[in-house]
Structure 1
Amino acid sequence: MILRLLPWSPTFLCLLISAIAGQIGIASSANAADRPNIVLMMCDDLGWGDTGFNGNTIIKTPELDALAEEGTVLDHFYSVGPVCSPTRASFLTGRHYFRMGIWTANRGHLPSQEFTLARMLKQEGYATGHFGKWHLGTLSRTVSAKGKGRRPDLHYAPPWERDYDASFVTESAVCTWDPGLGKRAHNNPYYENGVATDENVLGCDSRVLMDRALPFIENAAKKDQPFLSVIWFHAPHEDIQAGPEYLAQYEGHGEAAHYYGCITAVDDQVGRLRKKLDQLGVADNTLLFFCSDNGPEGKTPKDRAKTRRAGSAGEFSGRKRSVLDGGVRVPAFVHWPGQIPAGVRLDAPLSVMDLLPTVAAITGANLLPERQLDGENILPIWKGQQIQRETSIPFRYGDFACLVRGKHKLIIESSGDRSQDRLFDLSNDVTESDNLADQHPELVESMRSELLGFLKSAESSHAGEDYDGGHVPVDAWHPLSRAKNRKAATSNR
């Protein structure tokens, strides 16, 4: 006997509803599984040449090297900012820091109207956490680590009011050992979810912050909730001090042992993170990204020899505070099992501004259609499906403005005076010593026009035109003029 179900029978309708519900459930589960966890790590003042995966033979970074080997190394990756706060603003927003008035370190703050990685992913159901350095505003309305000139009431912009569910942060740099002590701890405590704390803030700073990041990750994983974890290490920014076990690994290296040791301490904590992801069973569905916020500290070889400023910019000219590549090209890699090729090194120019639109593409998150972004979705480049970024990368620091378009880099010092323009072919001039501006006037004019157009757009953003009212810039716009400190900012070192 064959049972026939008529389309209008109760049994048929129940089965149909059940099937539809089942398909919806399957689709929902698939969508949830397609949303990877995102862990975005950044060191502070780590030079391009300070890791094993970029050729350093002294500093031990086996955990970072393994992730780089199993993922894709970004050989031509820009922090965009040659100092910390600007890079951090661009990292979280996909926008150039000049749009927000964050000209340099300890200037400006992250406006509440900015659409950040945390805001974007929180709207998608992600748990959001930030651990380590903040440096995008004060964490108290009454005191600041930078003194009265910082105006804590004016620049109050903590992560717990910027869409993070959990946070463990300091306003600015702390010592890499015993971060709760010393001069840099003055008015600069760790704030845990908005409350200043002195609990477990001694010893290795990288371990201290990872002690907070891992429980956040574990809690989200146990709830089967995708997570965004931004981990910004303080190392190897000054004050640079390595713990005894790390100094022992670099005996005979003098003061540089402290610099080397605190980087290896970061590496150990990255290994600890990876082990936890494996234990939780989420490693294969977690995207790991790593970079630095600018080039290494240290103005001259003599300065670096006498202090702990032992960082390496590799073969590039310039260091921190320079718009030359040594100040803004940083070590970086992305690791995402099964999604990003392993054992690949990309030489396409990319930047921290690309993170937000790329994460949006990966997670299916919606961007603000009216918000001007300076980054772009580089997932096709990560996957090897596209060779180059479609748009140029703008820079601005002090009285210097730059643009990287493919293999060329233009540096200008004035909107009208072209006499100091410099054009470099980065594909065969990594030291930026051969000025080709006179040989390629049409290219210079094209890039100059694009760069000035960007600055005009950034000036409008700074005035609040990207926001829906109520925004008053805290500083006046910085017009581009002839540099007074040209030698300091662009000299080859």
Structure 2
Amino acid sequence: MKPILHCLMLFAVTLIIAPVKAAPPNIIYILADDLGYGDLGSYGQKLTNTPRLDKMAAQGIRFIQHYAGAPSCHPSRCVLFTGKHAGHGRIRANSDLPLLPEDFTISQMMKKAGYATGGVGKWALGQQETTGAPWVKGMDEFLGYLDQTLAHSYYPDHLWKDGQRMEIPENKDGQRKVYSHDLFAEQSLDFIRRHKDGPFFFYAALTIPHAEMAVPEDSLAEYRGKWPEPKTFPGSKTYCPQDQPRAVRAAMITRMDRDIGRILDLLDELKIADNTLVMFSSDNGPITAGGSAPEFFDSNGPLRDLKFKLYEGGIRVPFIARWPGKIKAGAESKLVSDFADMMPTFAEVSGAEAVKGDGRSILPTLLGKDAEQEKREVFYWEAAPQQALRKGDWKIYRRAPNAPIELYDLSKDIGETTDLATSMPEKVAELEKLMMESRMESSEFPLAKKEKKKKKH
């Protein structure tokens, strides 16, 4: 018996002193829709209340030079999920084109690494029964809009859930009783509760404040009558049934902020906050919305132009990350980064295997190890026929293949007010060469439309 007892004692001691392997961290990525660089209090907003996101920034890190993948939703999400910038990606403008089988996504990568995967909101990478549907691209669970056009309404009569059409009878025949964002908030909380033992990857592609201006009355109450409203604006009754675009837009953003706070509170309640990386960003810049933004709210902050354009206002977006105990509270980063960096970052965080794309992991910056951060030399964006490229602080922009190239020094001119192209032709030539080398031709999204040959009579 003594040898047996001796072995058991040694085994017990080994268990006690052996290091316990940490559980893989959970990842939650939250994406707003058409939220501008200046729409959060932590980025200078003075009129709209965003206390929970501002607190998240105070508890984590705020990036001031982060870019979306494109200036509109469909291609921007393609960059995010595939890790390939718009010069290499399959989708380069809003369209019905789905991802194809060879387009490996973040959700597939995380699922392959043993993560439970889920999402809500606007997918826009492939509709039902296509090769780009969420349940084909690695999502164990998904509730939301597949089509970005249907996502213009906050009171749809149906959504898609796990491959099946989910009817919303309360919204049939034009009724407006169930607010889609509220369904997404509840599904997010439910998913986290059910997968609290982890690891999980959750993608909350919220549709606020995109398209239709509509919000439940309990949120509108905070802003009703707070500001003068435009007397007329395009498609008022269709676009903003409540006829108060400024108050409604602010209330929408505050409601979204509240529900993000509920997610963060749940992580604390479940005691998994320290093992959960939470990120927040926007898919592109703001859009003119019936006098509500960005003119009134200064939604693009100091940046030039809006959604659909490759000036800074169309692609530079807020980006906040929180990971208690890992990310230093109140940090700010000037690292230039974009959506293509998310796939390698999530791979390094989780131990997953990523395909080689255009991004670089920003985990060193998140952890405060700036000296270890590999920096990308060149950033490229495309929204046919537009092109833009950034190298260091220099950025060039061309609105069409035959248009003149514009040159800006972002270190001194974040608003892109002074075009230096005429005075610096050598710099323009250098960056133009890089710009053309940074893309592959796309038959679906050519930079220039080919002229049709005239038939001979």
TM range (shorter): 0.7 to 0.9
Which whole-Å CA distance do the structure 2 matches of 1:305 and 1:165 have between them? Answer: 38
1:380-429 deviations in whole A, cap 9, x for unaligned?
223333277333111011222111112111123577x6x71211111111
The answer for the alignment partner of 2:410 in structure 1 is 426
8 Å Cα contact 2:60-2:324 kept in structure 1: yes
Instruction: Give the CA deviation at 1:43.
Output: 0.5
The answer for the alignment partner of 1:314 in structure 2 is 301
The answer for the alignment partner of 1:185 in structure 2 is none
Residue 214 (structure 2) pairs with residue 241 (structure 1): yes
Which whole-Å CA distance do the structure 1 matches of 2:87 and 2:408 have between them? Answer: 24
Instruction: Give the CA deviation at 1:115.
Output: 2.1
Instruction: Give the CA deviation at 1:100.
Output: 3.5
Residue 224 (structure 2) pairs with residue 251 (structure 1): yes
The answer for the alignment partner of 2:328 in structure 1 is 341
The answer for the alignment partner of 1:120 in structure 2 is 109
Which whole-Å CA distance do the structure 1 matches of 2:327 and 2:304 have between them? Answer: 31
The answer for the alignment partner of 2:453 in structure 1 is none
For 1:265, give the aligned amino acid: R
Which whole-Å CA distance do the structure 1 matches of 2:430 and 2:262 have between them? Answer: 48
Q: Cα 1:274–1:306, aligned 2, differ >3 Å: closer, same or farther?
A: closer
Residue 192 (structure 2) pairs with residue 192 (structure 1): no
8 Å Cα contact 2:37-2:317 kept in structure 1: yes
8 Å Cα contact 1:81-1:87 kept in structure 2: yes
Q: 268, 275, 280: which is aligned to 1:285? A: 275
1:76-97 deviations in whole A, cap 9, x for unaligned?
1111310001111111121124
Which whole-Å CA distance do the structure 2 matches of 1:268 and 1:479 have between them? Answer: 41
The answer for the alignment partner of 1:70 in structure 2 is 59
Residue 349 (structure 2) pairs with residue 362 (structure 1): yes
The answer for the alignment partner of 1:382 in structure 2 is 366
Structure 1, gaps ≥5 residues long: 142-154, 182-188, 463-474, 483-493
For 1:291, give the aligned amino acid: S
SS at match of 1:216: helix
Moved more, 81-90 or 156-165: 156-165
1:38-90 deviations in whole A, cap 9, x for unaligned?
00001111111111111111111111110011111111111131000111111
Moved more, 200-209 or 100-109: 200-209
The answer for the alignment partner of 1:436 in structure 2 is 420
Q: Cα 1:166–1:175, aligned 2, differ >3 Å: closer, same or farther?
A: closer
8 Å Cα contact 1:259-1:311 kept in structure 2: no
Instruction: Give the CA deviation at 1:114.
Output: 1.9
Which whole-Å CA distance do the structure 1 matches of 2:256 and 2:152 have between them? Answer: 10
Instruction: Give the CA deviation at 1:10.
Output: 6.9
1:334-360 deviations in whole A, cap 9, x for unaligned?
111111121122222211111111111
Q: Cα 1:408–1:41, aligned 2, differ >3 Å: closer, same or farther?
A: same
Which whole-Å CA distance do the structure 1 matches of 2:77 and 2:40 have between them? Answer: 21
Q: Cα 1:453–1:158, aligned 2, differ >3 Å: closer, same or farther?
A: same
1:307-350 deviations in whole A, cap 9, x for unaligned?
99967111111101110000111111111111112112222221
The answer for the alignment partner of 2:194 in structure 1 is 219
8 Å Cα contact 1:317-1:325 kept in structure 2: yes
Q: Which has the higher contact order (CA 8 A, sep 6+)?
A: 2
The answer for the alignment partner of 1:409 in structure 2 is 395
Structure 2, gaps ≥5 residues long: 172-176, 230-243, 451-457
The answer for the alignment partner of 1:478 in structure 2 is 446
For 1:157, give the aligned amino acid: G
For 1:443, give the aligned amino acid: K
Which whole-Å CA distance do the structure 2 matches of 1:176 and 1:265 have between them? Answer: 17
Instruction: Give the CA deviation at 1:12.
Output: 6.6
Which whole-Å CA distance do the structure 1 matches of 2:281 and 2:342 have between them? Answer: 11
8 Å Cα contact 2:87-2:438 kept in structure 1: no
Percent identity over paired residues: 29
1:79-135 deviations in whole A, cap 9, x for unaligned?
131000111111112112443331211242222222221111112211100111111
Which whole-Å CA distance do the structure 2 matches of 1:398 and 1:309 have between them? Answer: 29
For 1:357, give the aligned amino acid: P
The answer for the alignment partner of 1:207 in structure 2 is 182
Instruction: Give the CA deviation at 1:477.
Output: 5.0
Q: 255, 259, 262: which is aligned to 1:269? A: 259
Which whole-Å CA distance do the structure 2 matches of 1:332 and 1:133 have between them? Answer: 19
Residue 311 (structure 2) pairs with residue 324 (structure 1): yes
The answer for the alignment partner of 1:30 in structure 2 is 21
Instruction: Give the CA deviation at 1:481.
Output: 8.1
8 Å Cα contact 1:413-1:481 kept in structure 2: no
Which whole-Å CA distance do the structure 2 matches of 1:50 and 1:173 have between them? Answer: 23
The answer for the alignment partner of 1:152 in structure 2 is none
Q: 16, 34, 40: which is aligned to 1:51? A: 40
Which whole-Å CA distance do the structure 1 matches of 2:119 and 2:140 have between them? Answer: 8
For 1:270, give the aligned amino acid: I
Which whole-Å CA distance do the structure 1 matches of 2:52 and 2:181 have between them? Answer: 14
Please give the TM-score of this superposition, normalised by the length of structure 1: 0.79
Correspondence list, 1:1-20, <5 A: none
Which whole-Å CA distance do the structure 2 matches of 1:306 and 1:338 have between them? Answer: 37
The answer for the alignment partner of 2:202 in structure 1 is 229
Q: 38, 43, 50: which is aligned to 1:61? A: 50
Q: Cα 1:257–1:297, aligned 2, differ >3 Å: closer, same or farther?
A: same
Superposition CA RMSD, Å? 2.9
Please give the TM-score of this superposition, normalised by the length of structure 2: 0.85
Q: Cα 1:11–1:448, aligned 2, differ >3 Å: closer, same or farther?
A: farther
